[in-house]
Structure 1
């Protein structure tokens, strides 16, 4: 059997309404590339009929279709990691199942990879997201770049291509919580980005809640930089110096003016500010300690229930 040049990895979580449309558009787009390929679907513990639809699609196109059925929901990035560990292509492309990235755009990232790049990201030409989601994404992109020095213009877009070398490097990592595009950027030697089209979700609703997005960005920032801890240390130094200066000022004022009863609520406000600052610092430290705790347990990142594939 000819090994595929291209592996397309698609995590699937409760996408039964949109999968038929995805199948109808994905395979013709890949057939037009005129190169050996495989499609690796990862069912991320879906509770709907997604797994059954993937099985039916495997039976229709067993020559180019593989499906990995996870026993439980592991999260989008861990599902992609499962795909990376089973992909056989020299160029590995990730794609969401919701059709917001048109499958017809896969050829663009492939062509860019063939120019000699080892990692190609994508930027949505016109985003079909609501104002809050777009604004929050831009703000987090800016903050992430300042903290991690990882330059990803559109971190929420999962249409990306990776070389076999970069994927092998990612597979060698044993992190239980990571952000794959950022991890790939740290290993890439010649990264690039291109502009691609973006469409509205074909069916269903986004699986990323506000909480999920916040958690994702915490993983991104604490997983790739110590800057948040360093910033907090600097803030602690500034607050300590400010508190010392205020203490000296209050002593001088007491000696000059005498005892005063005023200013009680100002001190309360200052106290609450410092308590909030301390709680924030404890939470930030907890993020790093929690990552260490998850890592040292050495629990599997995902559990595979079944793999649907032909003779390899």
Structure 2
């Protein structure tokens, strides 16, 4: 499908990463098939076992035997994390539209057909689920999540109500232009905004249920990971193609402060005749000047590495969505 065109009959790949969800596999597969029973698109369900230590893999194989035409199973060698498992499913997807959701039965598969239709009707690249009536604990899940959403929105400029909702619908041609590493699945909308317009990212209210089986993989410890990942995300959004500006600004700040301190101490020594050797300010000025030089040098090195990366990989500092008119240049041979 050419990017930027509406597709009347998509093909949909639903990607679900699972980790120690043995009791949820069978009802999950049943719910997905019930939700997709009346759609007129080809679709498949890709279940990714992220190195579970329980019987999740066995349950997935049984689901494959029951639904061989629609179910595909990927079993990872070990536990790589939700982001890696999601990327494995995305790599295996063949649909022109990719839907992702959690395997804990808290997301509602019946929301998927409606979201796919809206993605196509409004010509969006990403539609994010919004759990507006969330069925989680107030202090351990809701409040930290709301604070994280506000923080991420303010830092990245992509303001969404629910970054943490795994139920998302993607246009495959756009999603394939990014790669997910670490624990960056929670920042997928922000990554998408680096290659498409934020106006092509929408939100949709979706259902949410309390967890019945299994144990939640989330907790307060994830708050610190979010903060660290957010710093990385901020760097990549603002300075991926110009890292020298990031380190250069810091270097100029420290370097200028150090030079000003040393200049003042020089004036004190030469014109006032006062001793400066035993002043802590002298050590601070020298330290700030050296730190400034180090950051400036780091900026130059990162600029060189960025240029090498773009040239070696053939990457371009832009993404073309479509080109109009779609025809050969005047006078160009058609090869006949």
Tell me whether the two structures share a fold, i.e. TM-score over 0.5.
yes
* Structure-2 residue corresponding to 1:22: 28
How many pairs are equivalent? 285
Greater RCO, CA 8 A, separation 6+: 1
CA deviation profile, 1:37-83 (whole Å, cap 9, x unmatched): 21111112222221111112222222221111122333333322322
User: Partners in 1 of 2:59 and 2:229 — Cα distance?
Assistant: 29
Where structure 2 has 5 or more consecutive residues not aligned to the other structure, the ranges are 1-8, 308-312, 314-336
CA deviation profile, 1:139-178 (whole Å, cap 9, x unmatched): 1332233xxxxx36243332221224335x43xx678667
User: Partners in 1 of 2:76 and 2:109 — Cα distance?
Assistant: 24
- 2:274 corresponds to 1:258: yes
C-alpha spacing 1:281/1:245, structure 2 compared with 1 (3 Å) = closer
User: Partners in 2 of 1:137 and 1:100 — Cα distance?
Assistant: 19
Which of 166, 174, 178 is the aligned partner of 2:174? Answer: 166
Q: Secondary structure at the match of 1:73?
A: coil
Q: Is this contact kept in 2: 1:45–1:71, CA < 8 A?
A: yes
Q: Is this contact kept in 2: 1:109–1:194, CA < 8 A?
A: no
User: Partners in 2 of 1:158 and 1:213 — Cα distance?
Assistant: 15
Q: Is this contact kept in 1: 2:22–2:56, CA < 8 A?
A: yes
* Structure-1 residue corresponding to 2:132: 125
Q: TM-score, normalised by structure 1?
A: 0.70
Shift of 1:5: 2.5
Q: Is this contact kept in 2: 1:117–1:192, CA < 8 A?
A: no
User: Partners in 1 of 2:21 and 2:304 — Cα distance?
Assistant: 35
Matches for 1:1-312 after TM superposition, within 5 Å: 5-33=11-39, 35-122=41-128, 123-126=130-133, 128=136, 129-145=141-157, 151=158, 153=160, 154-167=162-175, 169-170=176-177, 180-188=188-196, 191-197=200-206, 198-202=208-212, 203-206=214-217, 209-210=221-222, 212-214=225-227, 216-217=229-230, 220-226=233-239, 230-254=245-269, 255-256=271-272, 258-259=274-275, 264=280
Larger Rg belongs to: 2
Where structure 1 has 5 or more consecutive residues not aligned to the other structure, the ranges are 146-150, 293-297, 299-312
User: Partners in 2 of 1:88 and 1:98 — Cα distance?
Assistant: 24
